[in-house]
């Protein structure tokens, strides 16, 4: 989706990403919700505060995961 505010360039240093999919209850044993994020610019680092622009709210991601087939692992930096 094209932004009505500004264009984010991939070479920008600040982390920018957008959620393209939200999935609930992937693991039947837990009530979980996952947000799949595409990184547009910068570097994502675990446990840092990030601004959710839509709600003007800061969020911290303590357990980000990468998926490959049926395996998942915690990501410290991406």
Q: How distant is the alpha carbon of residue 76 from its chain centre?
A: 12
Q: How confident is the model at residue 75 (pLDDT cuts 50, 70, 90)?
A: very high
pLDDT band, residue 6 (cuts 50/70/90): confident
What are the tens digits of pLDDT across the range 15-35? 999 888 988 887 778 778 888
Dump pLDDT digits (tens) for 27-74.
Answer: 778 778 888 899 999 999 999 999 988 889 999 988 898 888 888 899
Q: What is the pLDDT of residue 1?
A: 60
At 70 the pLDDT is 84
Cβ pair 30, 59 in contact under 8 A: no
């Amino acid at each position: 989706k094209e932004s009505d505010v500004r264009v984010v360039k991939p070479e920008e240093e600040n982390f920018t990403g957008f959620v393209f999919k939200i999935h609930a209850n992937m693991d039947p044993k837990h009530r979980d919700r996952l947000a799949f994020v595409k990184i547009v610019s910068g570097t994502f680092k675990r446990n840092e505060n990030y601004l959710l622009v839509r709600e003007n709210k800061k969020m911290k991601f303590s357990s980000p995961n990468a998926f490959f087939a049926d395996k998942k692992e915690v990501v410290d930096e991406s």
